[in-house]
Each structure stands twice: as C-alpha cells, then as structure tokens.
Amino acid sequence: MFDSLNPLPADPILGLMAAHRSDSNPRKIDLGVGVYKDEQGNTPVMRAVKSAEARLLADQTSKSYVSPAGLATFNTLIASLVLGDELTKTLGDRRVTFQTPGGCGGLRLAAEFIQKVRPASKILVSDPTWANHVPLLGEAGLQIETYPYYDHKNHGIRFDAMMERLSKAAAGDLVLLHGCCHNPCGADLSNEQWQAVAELAQTNGFTPFIDLAYQGLGDGLAEDSYGVRLLAEKLPELIVVSSCSKNFGLYRERTGSLTVIAGSSEAARASASQIAATARAIYSMPPDHGASVVAEILADDTLNSDWELELTEVRERINGLRSALVTELDRQGIDRDFSFIEQEKGMFSFLGLSVDQVQTLINQYSIYLVDSSRINIAGINSSNIEYLAQSIAEAVKR
C-alpha cells in the first residue's frame, strides 16, 4: 500500500523552524513561525491561564467525555466574547456555537458542514490569505476562488477591486473574511469598509464566513470584533470561527469555536444537529482542557480582568515593536518608506522584499522569514531589532 508513495515537501514555516533551530549563529532571529514571543523570545503561559489551571487541577472530579458540541459554558461565554453580551441575547436561538479543536478544527468543521448541506459550494478567499485556509477548506470539497485584497506595491487594501469581485458573489456563495489582524499582511478593513461589505452581502445574499483568530491583538477585544458584530446584526446568516490560541496563549491546547447564525431558530436547530453529526464523524468530541481554562477565566471577574490586562500588554508591545522597527529602518537610510508597518495590526506584515533579498537575510544574516517577506513582528525584541534593521538595509542595498 505504501511502497509507491513519494514524500511531500516540508511545510515552509516548519522548515524555517527546523533551520533556525540548527543554526549556530548567536544572532539568529526567527520571524517565520506565527506565535507570540515576549522580550526574552519565549511564548509564555498567561497569568490567568496558570491560575485557572491550578483551580481545575484542584477541583476537577472527572475526565469523562464531553459531547460533540463541547463544553456548554465555554460555548456560551465565547459567543459573548465574540459577539458581545447584548447581541448574543438578541440573536437568541438563531445562534449555535460549538467548541472545536482549535481554529483549524473550527474551519474544517465548518467546511465539512457546508459540504454536507450544499456540496461543492464556492468560497472566495482573499489574495493573499493564510496558507492553511486552502487545504482546510478545499480538501473538504469547497470550491475555492480568490478576491483581490492586498496591494503589495502600495501596502494597502485593494478595496475597490475587492468590492468589484464580491459584487459577483451570489446567494449560496461564501466569502471568507479575516475578522482582524489579517494573516499574512496585517492590513485590516476599516469600519466604513466593513459597512460596505455588509451592505453588499445584504444586496447579493452571499454568506460571510469570518475567521477571527486574533481578537484582542489589534485594537481591543470589542474593536477587533466590529466587523463580526456588524454582520451578525445585519445579516440573516453568518459563520464565525474563532481561536483561543493567540489571545489566551493556548496554542497546543487546540481551543476554538464555530458559531453559526441562521435566519430562524428552526434553521439553527437543524444546523446544530448537522454540525454535531459532522463533528462526531470527524473527531467525535473536542478536548476539554483548554476550553475549561477559558471558561474559568471568562466566568471569574478577577481572572477575566487579569487576562484582559495581560492581553493589553501583549497588544501594546506588538504595536510598540511596529513603531520601533519603522524607526530603526529609517535610521538605516534605506531609500523606501516602511511607515506602513506601523499602520497595520496584529503580528504580521510584509516587508516588501524580493525572494533574493529574503534568501540573503536567511543565508547571510541568519534571519528566518518566508519567501513572501512576511514577518512575525512578535519575533522582534530590543536585543535584536538594531541587527534586524541593519541586515535588512544591507540586503536591500546589495
């Protein structure tokens, strides 16, 4: 059975991680992997997570199975985090939320659900989008097309071209939107642009599918949910996948959610039954630990306040690194404007370098980033930012 198989090429990000680990250069920098890192280059466990885990360890009495929908308290609390308390109440039984094995699990569960109820549906994704969107959605059977999004030359959103393409999307089509902190470019829709998308969706009848992986890392928890909440308020149907990997630091615990908003409570109940059957067929039921930690934090005022405080510290540090990098690059006298980096949100940004310049950074300076020149801003710290800026300047001037 296996003798005829050929090995697949390594994932670009995982390959960079391995190359960085084996590099003996003491000045090496990893800007590839998309995890938050603190000033010491570590990915810490958040204070509130530590406290919640201690409580669970002391109080948990069973490791029995949960249901395919996951932990009910988590689902209720995460829906309120994403949608806000008032809107969650207003939507009532039109909303169903399922705990999923991370954001990836939520994306795949949503895709399998859509494929089951409307086979070979078309889903439009931004150009560019997170690389894993394509296999997660496409290998479930959805037909993937793209819409223009990022202008690499001018470092902004091609909004007119985006809207022109979306104007051709019809009822039954899905449009994947990044809720905030666009991965890989960091360029987010403004509130006015979200409003225009909502109006177009109302007119044409397509269904927005929002990936909210970085809530709280852009402008704030409520601010980063503006687009999600606007579309949930305006439209009869909406799909939202959210992740707790970044804002709770629960990367390895695989904690996420899938929320479906339907036009009626009857349609929502039918959707819930189909999603539950789909989850049962894929992974039976999600892991409990991460969801229990999040539920413990969100349900407790003290833990919730400390979590929001630390999340604010993370967000402000990332935004500060953006400004600091622009300042350092300006000091190098490079004949190009990098100010766009400071205007973007979240952990990612394109530097606008060529593949040759990227390879120079890797091979000559031990600075690891993908060929598109996308960098993880959180891989920068006060001890490496000057070396990074100098290296970029030398690579650009070659």
User: Of the residues 28, 37, 246, 345, which is catalytic?
Assistant: 246
User: Residue 10: pLDDT above 80?
Assistant: no
pLDDT in tens, 166-209: 999 999 999 999 999 999 999 999 999 999 999 999 999 999 99
* One-letter amino acid of 231: L
Active site annotation includes 246: yes
Report cis status (omega within 30 of 0) of the bond before 128: yes
Find tokens 């800026």 and name the residue. Answer: 389
Domains of the chain, start order: 12-45+308-397 (3.90.1150.10), 65-299 (3.40.640.10)
User: Of the residues 130, 288, 307, 345, which is catalytic?
Assistant: 130
Active site annotation includes 130: yes
* One-letter amino acid of 290: G
CB neighbour burial string for 152-176, b if at least 16 within 10 angstroms, e if fewer: eeebebbbeebeebbeebeeebbbb
Q: What is the pLDDT confidence band of residue 252, given thresholds at 50, 70 and 90?
A: very high
What pLDDT is recorded for position 17?
85
What pLDDT is recorded for position 316?
98
Instruction: Please state the φ and ψ torsions of residue 136, each to the nearest 5 degrees.
Output: -60, -40
242 Cβ contact partners less than 8 Å away, ≥ 6 residues apart: 78, 81, 82, 103, 106, 179, 212, 213, 215, 256, 257, 259
Question: In the numeric block, which tokens belong to residue 289?
Answer: 């630990």
214 Cβ contact partners less than 8 Å away, ≥ 6 residues apart: 179, 180, 181, 183, 224, 243, 246, 247, 346, 347
Averaged pLDDT, 85-110: 98
Q: At what angle do helices 385-397 and 301-331 cross, to 10 degrees?
A: 40
Active site annotation includes 194: no
What pLDDT is recorded for position 33?
86
Averaged pLDDT, 348-373: 96
- Taking the C-alpha atoms of residue 348 and residue 358, their distance in angstroms, rounded to an integer, is 16
Averaged pLDDT, 313-334: 96
Concatenate the DSSP letters of all residues of 214-240 into one string. Answer: -TTSSS-TTGGGHHHHHHHHH-S-EEE
- Mean pLDDT rounded to a whole number for the chain: 96
Find tokens 């994704």 and name the residue. Answer: 125
Q: Give the number of C-alpha atoms closer than 13 A to the C-alpha of residue 140, restricted to the C-beta side.
A: 28
* DSSP conformational letter for 143: E
User: Of the residues 30, 173, 188, 211, which is catalytic?
Assistant: 211
* Statement: the pTM of the whole predicted model exceeds 0.85: yes
Q: In percent, how much of the chain has pLDDT > 90? A: 94
Q: Which residues pair with 122 in a beta bridge?
A: 143
pLDDT in tens, 124-142: 999 999 999 999 999 999 9
pLDDT in tens, 209-236: 999 999 999 999 999 999 999 999 999 9
Averaged pLDDT, 255-272: 98
